[in-house]
Structure 1
Amino acid sequence: MERLAQRLLVWRIAPVVEAKSKAVQEAGRTRPGLMGRTSKDKRDIYYRKAKQQGYRARSAFKLLQLDDKFQLLRNATRVVDLCAAPGGWSQVIVERVPTDSIIVAVDLMEMAPLDGVVQLQGDITHKETADEIVARFQGQKAQVVVSDGAPDVLGLHDLDEYLQAQLVLAGLNISLHILEEGGTFVAKLFRGKEVSLLYAQLCRFFCHVTCAKPKTSRNSSLEAFAVCQHFRLPNEFVPDMERNLLDLRYTEDIETGDEDDEWYNSGVSAERGVCVDVVFMGAGDVFGYDADQSYSLDEDTANDSAVGYVPKYVHQDPLQKPINPPYASALKKQQSKQ
């Protein structure tokens, strides 16, 4: 009797399973590779929400949360976005500042146009780029400078931290030329063992330095943001784009007379081993989405048992793919070998 009951159950269920299987196959034909493409949508809620809300990158939520916490863009009419591509932070700035504001986005790579944003393709370590930014402001300086730039992570933590710190210092160096007195500078950093040296350098030029971690930033990541407020240039200090703010003097340099270098004796050069404490703060709704958690896709499961049911979730591609990325040629070479 038990075997007969099992056979009857299989006989009744088989048509339903077959119908659902055919429906899924049909969906797969119209949406090839759906499973792989939606995997990141499930794992990264902010990546999915960015596409749904029209942002070019998930990092847009980081600036939104930082601005909500620190009011960075309140009443700002001259803003610079360094390392701006693909333009997620520039989109947020356009939304948050008055309509008559001037927003300058700078990047080495080409960036797709954005309404209300002046784009400069240039190197932030060159004085010519700083001069062009000031020219866009008609001789005035920026009130806010932000930077979400980061090099490709190598997985070597000490080296990754060093490279990121150099990018922060490059942003700081150009800010010394383009930021007005009392202005604000925001930059991404990695909280490694040498981060105190970076804090010390930032404190030479800003009255308040805060380490902030937006809710969008994963807890598993060392990423955070230095929020530097109330910029003031030290007396008699002249910024120089050709000098590295954190150049360390070695024994052979001192023997050649560099101990009399006014640059290093001007009170702006930070020293290794000096502990600088800054306030660490979170930004964003504590009850909001968790960047480390996976969330189910927006599917209608009410009719899951219906024959021929197909999930209603529709995958969206990124709104703006990179334009002429440096890795494009490498990908073409790799594909040609296959």
Structure 2
Amino acid sequence: MGKSSKDKRDLYYRKAKEDGWRARSAFKLLQLDEEFDLFKDVKRAVDLCAAPGSWSQVLSREIYQKRHKEEVKLVAVDLQPMSPIEGITTIQADITHPKTLQKILEIFGGEPADFVCSDGAPDVTGLHDLDEYIQSQLILAALQLTTCVLKPGGTFVAKIFRGRDIDLLYSQLSYLFEKVICAKPRASRGTSLEAFIVCIGYKPREDWVPSLDSNKSTEEFFEGANIGRSGNLERLDMPDPEERLIANFIACGDLNSVDSDATYTLAGSDKKASLDPIQMPTAPPYKKALEMKRQGKI
């Protein structure tokens, strides 16, 4: 979380620091849980693209610290290093690599996960069609691992960028889950394309056994799953184009709570207060840049 003047007056930003969350995004998962009761009976969960760890903190506080700890197994996966969180086993790895799946299953003792979530997103370019496409590919990458590790009836939650063709993703997910819902937590700024897809009731495809292969694209991975044609956009001129799904949209969070798009004047002595980050960067890019400068490479 940065320290711009807007951030200083964003109450979600400040409350995250005051409450010990690593990022304001923790409130998004908490509000989704309030709406959908995501953590009910969850004992094994996976947080994909987890760094810096705010969603993993939520899993720790809402599951690990509120259940019989010896029964709970929580895993966080990210390519970036992440500082430890109580009750969370951290794996620094690629979510599309078979060894990552193998490691998760080892931690779970061969048992499937009850819940998988992903708050990952690419660095946005501002070109909405491009950003939406890249994000959808990231979701499909997370979905690959999810289909290999999630139990039947389990839940998958991921960040999406809503755009012109997001209904194609809804349609594909609807083949794999009983309910597909687009949710917008109040902590997510209304001016942002960001929303969250809540997929409830995983239903594995008959006669299809998902298997991760780092040499396969997401398109090749889902071949045989019969979840819809990946080339829909190129085939819209066909006489009978594939049906496209519009997911239900739900706004999450109390309407009386803080408005994420508003900035609030700080009172009294807090007016110039600057709160330190909860978690300092574990491998900030500027360190690599400084080292390259010392070596005369830049």
TM-score range, shorter chain: 0.7 to 0.9
State how 1:188-203 maps to structure 2 within 5 Å: 188-203=159-174
Q: Which residue of 2 aligns with 1:283?
A: 252
Cα distance, 1:241 vs structure 2: 2.4
CA offset digits 1:258-311 (Å, max 9, x no partner): xxxx964542233525421110001111111111100112425xxxxxxxxxx6
Q: Give the partner amino acid of 1:77.
A: K
Q: Distance between the aligned counterparts of 2:173 and 2:222, measured in 1?
A: 16
Q: Which residue of 2 aligns with 1:318?
A: 277
Tell whether the 8 Å contact from 2:44 to 2:112 is kept in structure 1 after alignment.
yes
Tell whether the 8 Å contact from 1:197 to 1:276 is kept in structure 2 after alignment.
yes
* Counterpart among 127, 132, 138 of residue 161 in structure 1: 132
Tell whether the 8 Å contact from 2:9 to 2:266 is kept in structure 1 after alignment.
no
* Counterpart among 14, 29, 47 of residue 13 in structure 2: 47
Q: State the TM-score, normalizing by the size of structure 1.
A: 0.77
CA offset digits 1:15-37 (Å, max 9, x no partner): xxxxxxxxxxxxxxxxxxxxx94
Q: Which residue of 2 aligns with 1:17?
A: none
**Residue 175 to residue 108, structure 1, CA distance change in 2 (3 Å):** same
**Residue 141 to residue 266, structure 1, CA distance change in 2 (3 Å):** closer
* Counterpart among 235, 238, 241 of residue 209 in structure 2: 238
**Residue 140 to residue 192, structure 1, CA distance change in 2 (3 Å):** same
Tell whether the 8 Å contact from 2:47 to 2:75 is kept in structure 1 after alignment.
yes
State how 1:155-234 maps to structure 2 within 5 Å: 155-234=126-205
Tell whether the 8 Å contact from 1:298 to 1:313 is kept in structure 2 after alignment.
no
Q: Which residue of 2 aligns with 1:73?
A: 39
Worse-matched range after superposition: 93-102 or 106-115:
93-102
Q: Distance between the aligned counterparts of 2:173 and 2:217, measured in 1?
A: 13
Tell whether the 8 Å contact from 2:47 to 2:56 is kept in structure 1 after alignment.
yes
Q: Distance between the aligned counterparts of 1:145 and 1:61, measured in 2?
A: 17
CA offset digits 1:209-251 (Å, max 9, x no partner): 000000011110010000001001111012132344446xxxx
* Counterpart among 115, 131, 144 of residue 102 in structure 2: 131
Q: Which residue of 2 aligns with 1:292?
A: 261
Q: Give the partner amino acid of 1:76.
A: V
Tell whether the 8 Å contact from 1:143 to 1:180 is kept in structure 2 after alignment.
yes
Tell whether the 8 Å contact from 1:64 to 1:92 is kept in structure 2 after alignment.
yes
Q: Give the partner amino acid of 2:226.
A: G
Cα distance, 1:187 vs structure 2: 0.3
Tell whether the 8 Å contact from 2:8 to 2:274 is kept in structure 1 after alignment.
no
**Residue 326 to residue 180, structure 1, CA distance change in 2 (3 Å):** farther
Q: Distance between the aligned counterparts of 1:37 and 1:185, measured in 2?
A: 32
Worse-matched range after superposition: 160-169 or 238-247:
238-247
Worse-matched range after superposition: 185-194 or 196-205:
196-205
SS at match of 2:268: coil
Tell whether the 8 Å contact from 1:124 to 1:170 is kept in structure 2 after alignment.
yes
* Counterpart among 19, 25, 28 of residue 59 in structure 1: 25
| Unmatched runs of 5 consecutive residues or more in structure 2 | 234-242
Q: Distance between the aligned counterparts of 1:103 and 1:126, measured in 2?
A: 19
Cα distance, 1:329 vs structure 2: 2.4
What's the % identity of the aligned pairs?
47
CA offset digits 1:117-160 (Å, max 9, x no partner): 11111100111101110110111011000100011111111111
**Residue 276 to residue 52, structure 1, CA distance change in 2 (3 Å):** same
Tell whether the 8 Å contact from 1:246 to 1:269 is kept in structure 2 after alignment.
no
Q: Which residue of 1 aligns with 2:239?
A: none
Aligned length: 279
State the Cα RMSD in Å.
2.4
Q: Give the partner amino acid of 2:280.
A: K
Cα distance, 1:312 vs structure 2: 6.8
Q: Give the partner amino acid of 1:110.
A: P
SS at match of 1:204: helix
Worse-matched range after superposition: 273-282 or 46-55:
273-282
**Residue 269 to residue 330, structure 1, CA distance change in 2 (3 Å):** farther
